[in-house]
Structure 1
């Protein structure tokens, strides 16, 4: 079973600043709860199709690697862009997407989409019914943290 997770947050910064912030992979640990992001291979392109990144999600030594390959990369004329990834790990599978759109000269919108493949068949689908609201709230808290961080670093 596949599920769509889509969350959005508006920020009072130009699109280019927001795009630069959300695609600074190591900085995602500042706003994605309980996650550390890094390049799989520093020789890979960090901001282009074929780049590989991985995210450790968990608490201390208990967690998992979410491995991803960048499958789409477009920068928009308004300063925003779109990054598409394929999740290739043992736990998280499916497609993900970050989009930044300009909503004005000093404002922008960040859209996070995941088309996740739930593990464990019917048991996974039942589990998703239980955890989807807390997962969405956790993501929303992370996006609010990201918004505050990027707005507070704006010049």
Structure 2
């Protein structure tokens, strides 16, 4: 099972793989998303930070947390800190964090392929966690976006 430099979370039943270079804000995005969606009463769970084991299973991409870092997330300046987590999720969406100059104002529909499985991908500017959380909400049609949704 290949180890990928990424972070994984689940939001409203959708597994999300966050990829980007070291320091691009993967952990911050995951923590902001968890706080935002949980405060809105939407299921959100942490899977793995900085390392994710990926495998193809029945035509789906599965992300698992490596045992050595299960339940740990980097608290910058402090080091690894304990966090409730789920051990695995099926990945339905990828977020690719890139340099702001390379990020499109409006992300075009694109895909990435991991372990032979194509996954829809949204390209977003790095180190802009709150904006990225809103992009995730819009992509998944969650509050404050989507039909019948109320502002959070």
Output the TM-score relative to the length of structure 2. Answer: 0.26
* Bigger proportion of residues as helix: 1
Q: Which has the larger radius of gyration?
A: 1
Output the TM-score relative to the length of structure 1. Answer: 0.26
